[in-house]
Structure 1
Amino acid sequence: MALILTPEHISPLTKTHERKSFDCGHEDLNRYLREQARQDAEKRVAAPFVLTQPGDPKVLGFYTLSSSIIPVSELPEDMMKRLPRYGQLPVTLLGRLAVDRSAGGQGVGEFLLVDSLRRSLEAAQQIAAMAVVVDAKNERAESFYQHFNFQPFQKTPLRLFLPMAQIAQLFA
């Protein structure tokens, strides 16, 4: 069955979404969605968004967004020179992104990433964020993000960022 991948099928996580059968192959991400994501949403420490299909509450993929800060010293030198001389800068953290195995190989990860970037850009028009930051789970995840032009931080392995200016160009 081909999935329908439209922004209308990504929504904030609610009690009606079926999360128990979600399996992305990483138990910590499965557990997070099943046991912690709703609490994080209620406490406003993360905003989980889920992909479902019309008429089916089963979660096929999800991501979380939250506000964060980064030390300016972690950025590449050429970028540091162009930014204000603050010790830290505001960013949007793409904390988790996972796809259920049943939806693997259908472009769901890329679709969720693009949606998260679009939401981050929209939010940055109201609340400042100079980039989207991700903490890649492993080298495979790091390669996924680098494919979409995320750049590595200088001092933190597997931590990458995509400047908001580049994200704006994607949606221009």
Structure 2
Amino acid sequence: MPRSIEEKLRVEPLTSSHDRSEFESGVEPLDRYFRTQAGQDARKNMAAPFVLVLLDATIAGYYTLSATSVQLGELPAQTVRKLPRYPLVPATLLGRLAVDRRHQGKGYGRFLLADALHRATRSEIASFAVIVDAKNESARRFYERESFLPFPDRPMKLFRPMADIRRLFD
């Protein structure tokens, strides 16, 4: 993405002043969540929604972050070998990520993902990886292109180790 475009983009926590009524990604559950549930989840500390706001105050996309955990046995064997033998390991859940249809194809999805990963590395809470549950095959392929690895028995659930993510920002 050209630097001039990046300078015009702003990602900020969702507030009641953001107009979510016109947002439409083309994935109905993501749109419904954003319009009706995201604000409540933020107020109740269930998820931290962030919005990509353009210069005209239009919301071009959003994502949510929250804490989660993963059962050690769910992870690939080569990953488990590197971890302590706790039954659960802490992780960060990238619960939702969507770009408004009018702004798809402009690199905003990757921009939002990079912002989410960067925020996850800055957290003072321990997290072994960022976890995503891809909503469809297209989303799964997007995350795989961004170096996320599938869980062995659940190909729509993917993760990227935090050590790998930190190297992106060093």
Question: Normalized against structure 1, the TM-score is what?
Answer: 0.93
CA distance in 1, matches of 2:45, 2:19: 21
Q: Which amino acid is the alignment partner of residue 163 of structure 1?
A: P
Secondary structure at the aligned position of 2:159 is classed as: strand
Unaligned runs of 5+ in 1: none
Deviations along 1:120-167, whole A, 9 cap, x unmatched? 0111xx110000000001111100000011001112230000000000
Secondary structure at the aligned position of 1:143 is classed as: helix
Give the equivalent residue in structure 2 for 1:127.
125
User: Is the contact between residue 4 and residue 53 of structure 1 (CA under 8 Å) also seen in structure 2?
Assistant: no
Of 138, 156, 159, the residue aligned with 1:158 is: 156
Give the equivalent residue in structure 1 for 2:168.
170
Give the equivalent residue in structure 1 for 2:50.
49
Ranges of 4+ aligned residues in structure 1 off by more than 4 Å: none
Give the equivalent residue in structure 2 for 1:136.
134
Answering whether residue 6 of structure 2 is matched by residue 5 of structure 1, we say yes
In the TM superposition, residue 109 of structure 1 has moved relative to its aligned partner by 0.3
Answering whether residue 39 of structure 2 is matched by residue 38 of structure 1, we say yes
CA distance in 2, matches of 1:7, 1:90: 34
Q: How is 1:102-113 mapped onto 2 (pairs within 5 angstroms)?
A: 102-113=102-113
Aligned-pair identity in percent equals 49
CA distance in 1, matches of 2:8, 2:46: 23
Secondary structure at the aligned position of 1:5 is classed as: helix
Secondary structure at the aligned position of 1:33 is classed as: helix
- Over aligned residue pairs, what C-alpha RMSD do you find? 1.6
In the TM superposition, residue 53 of structure 1 has moved relative to its aligned partner by 1.3
Unaligned runs of 5+ in 2: none
User: Is the contact between residue 149 and residue 159 of structure 2 (CA under 8 Å) also seen in structure 1?
Assistant: yes
Aligned residues: 168
Residues 1:6 and 1:71: Cα distance change in structure 2 (over 3 Å):
farther
Residues 1:7 and 1:91: Cα distance change in structure 2 (over 3 Å):
farther
Give the equivalent residue in structure 1 for 2:145.
147
Give the equivalent residue in structure 2 for 1:83.
83
CA distance in 2, matches of 1:157, 1:151: 9
